[in-house]
Amino acid sequence: MFHKEGFFIIIFTFLFTAGIALGADFFIDIIWLKWGLQGLALGLLIIVLQFFRNPKRDTPINADHVIAPVDGKVVVIEEVFEKEYFKDQRLMVSIFMSPINVHVTRYAMSGKVLFSKYHPGKYLVAWHPKASEENERTTIVLENKSFGAILYRQIAGALARRIVNYAQESQDVIQGTDAGFIKFGSRVDLYFSLGTNINVELNQIVKGGVDVVAKK
């Protein structure tokens, strides 16, 4: 199963691969060169298909749990000042996605979208300390009666050139469903109230839509 954000790129890459394969077979007589070009074209198609895969995840809906919005590695757990929306001290958990991870963003909890804003910006590497403030990013705030309000931020990286965000203000969303997509990787930051029970550790690999990041 592939994400809808990749359909155009997948079709284009498939046609490009087919064109290279047929052209090499028709015009090139040198066996190693023909097979090399065909192999490179096929490898490109496999990479694109791998990148835009959208595996089905069975998310147990739980109003007291915040799940990982993306696949990746927990690289930061620290107290920071969140200056865009809450404007106070928050507990931040950052999940870094490598190019081989699934890049679908899923709603971390069910609730209402209070805030959704896109920010154009730079393309620093995702682990750069200033990436969360200077890179292209989106900021989304969700709230439900049980857990309260959380903020998550999709952040572009050095390779990412497009962030897709489906969250619209006043929209009711369901935990685990598609919230967007970050093309060609980066990271997602989650911001919680101080004292929140964090359920992950540094360097832990998490699966979006499945693993619990925080509990009430």
Options 94, 110, 132, 186, the catalytic residue? 186
Q: Is the dihedral of CA 135, 166, 151, 59 positive or negative?
A: negative
CB proximity list for 12: less than 8 A, separation 6 or greater:
none
Is 110 part of the annotated catalytic residue set? no
Q: Where are the beta strands (DSSP E) in the chain?
A: 65-67, 72-82, 88-97, 104-106, 111-119, 137-144, 148-156, 162-165, 172-173, 178-183, 186-192, 197-198, 205-206, 212-215
Active-site positions read 186
